[in-house]
A = this chain, B = another copy of it.
């Protein structure tokens, strides 16, 4: 995908109450999950994005700083931002992995601790018997 057409991946809602930088983070992650962004691909520059989305370059930069922390992409001054080469080496299928990751993220965002999460899984394993 060209960097200019990548801009269309983003759809910001400034009145949703969700911070812009968080919307960016989520939408980039989603694009990667959906294979719209592939490892090694270059993202639009902070200024291009900022101009296209009508926001401050620093807001882009901060969002991408977070994504770099999470290992999703790499930033280089003078160069740009690249999607990381991901280890997808695990034998897990997306049908298992995606809902698992989503479950864990949502559970944590509702402040369940790890022990509670494990208990929950146990409960559901006993409820949803194989049939």
Residues of A within 8 A of B (CB): 22, 25-26, 30, 33, 69-70, 89, 92-93, 95-96, 99-108, 110-114, 116-125, 128, 130-131
Copies of this chain? 2
Residues from chain B with Cβ under 8 Å of A116 in the complex:
30, 33
Q: Are B110 and A93 interface neighbours, CB within 8 A?
A: yes
Main secondary structure on chain A at its contact with chain B? helix
A99 to B99, Cβ gap below 8 A?
A: yes
A89, B121: Cβ atoms closer than 8 Å:
no
Q: A101 to nearest B CB, angstroms?
A: 6
Chain B residue numbers with a CB within 8 Å of A120 are 92, 96, 100
Measured in the bound complex, the distance between the Cα atoms of B125 and A116 in whole Å is 12
